[in-house]
Amino acid sequence: MKLAGLKSIENAHDESVWAATWIPATETRPALLLTGSLDETVKLWKPDELTLERTNAGHCLGVVSVAAHPSGSIAASASLDSFVRVFDVDSNASIATLEAPPSEVWQMQFDPKGTTLAVAGGGSASVQLWDTEKWKLIATLSIPRQEGPKPSDKNSSKKFVLSVGWSPDGKRVACGSMDGTISVFDVARAKFLHHLEGHFMPVRSLVYSPADPRVLFSASDDAHVHMYDAEGKSMIAAMSGHASWVLSVDASPDGAAIATGSSDKTVRLWDLSMRAAVQTMSNHVDQVWGVKFRPPGGPGPRAGRLASVSDDKSLSLYDYS
């Protein structure tokens, strides 16, 4: 397995690019790359030339997360202004605006069926689940307060929820917190199941394996990537190689590899059979906030693609084979 650089766009945004995801292909158009930036805009890009399809304004502060509905027709952007804007991909018409208290909107992800949007709730120490038909809040998955030696211990601030991930069967939501804990929830029962231990610094990104709904990958400021059996509560592997914070992790559609982005300015490709990094890409000159594999399906050639975005304002596209 390897990555090969295809194209980079310098100054893709006017400020740091903090978020990226792929909007799945529809019958009428290929998959699009969606990026969100500190410059308060969201941009849609056409692969493989990375031509700019459209720029969306509408947020008052930087965009911290973007998410795409599995249908490919709807996407969402979340900003430091604590609003989530849900919009029609092809027309940019606003579908809904979801409001949260300050500092309670971070990463977000649609479930595999597209019925629910999960939002990492920051200082609320919870994950909010929004129904995608009526855009109503249907559940708040709260992390239980752990019994500390001192009741005055500021547990809630440490449980600041940064990241969220759905299992491929849609039955579980996992979230990563500032203190390094990962919490797993049973979605149907809106019930906390257990914590996954091992990180001691912020967990900024989570992704389940598309090949196995039990396997969860996490990226942390402790410079490690962990592979968990999220049902059995056990760590399968701790993978090191980055020289600094690991800010983003994504799993390849074939389930054979993961990619990571780090504040050491690199993108790494990891072979899961070896549980080791097999390639390092150094396209970026500042920290890499997002890496994302293109989902399978859709018209046209279906080669593997990975995108990365960075504080250096650029966007890079790679062939994955």
Say what the pLDDT of residue 152 is. 45
Model pTM?
Answer: 0.94
At 52, the amino acid letter reads: L
Backbone torsions φ then ψ of 156, nearest 5 degrees = -60, -40
Class for domain 3-148+156-320, per CATH?
Answer: mainly beta
Say what the pLDDT of residue 298 is. 67
Contact between 64 and 78 under an 8 Å Cβ cutoff? The reply is: yes
Task: Provide long-range contacts, Cβ within 8 A and 24+ apart, for 89-94.
Answer: 89/23, 89/32, 89/44, 90/29, 92/54, 92/56, 94/58
Contact between 120 and 113 under an 8 Å Cβ cutoff? The reply is: no
Sheet holding 191-196, edge to edge: 161-166, 172-177, 182-186, 191-196
Between CA 248 and CA 219 the distance in angstroms is 6
Whose CA is closest to 65, among 219, 289, 260? Answer: 289
Between CA 37 and CA 14 the distance in angstroms is 8
- Below-70 pLDDT ranges, the chain: 146-158, 298-302
Between CA 181 and CA 175 the distance in angstroms is 8
DSSP calls for 130-163: EETTT--EEEEEEPPPP--SSTTS-HHHHT-EEE
Q: Which residues pair with 94 in a beta bridge?
A: 87
pLDDT in tens, 50-87: 999 999 988 889 999 999 999 999 999 999 988 999 99
Between strands 191-196 and 203-208, the pairing is: unpaired
Torsion of CA 178, 219, 167, 304, to 10 degrees: 150
Distances (CA, A) of 221 to 12, 87, 111, 156, 260: 26, 32, 26, 19, 12
Cβ-based neighbour number of residue 16 at 10 Å: 17
| Burial of residue 206, with CB atoms counted within 10 A of its CB: 0-12 exposed, 13-18 middle, 19 or more buried | buried
pLDDT in tens, 260-294: 999 999 999 999 999 999 999 999 999 999 999 99
Cβ-based neighbour number of residue 55 at 10 Å: 12
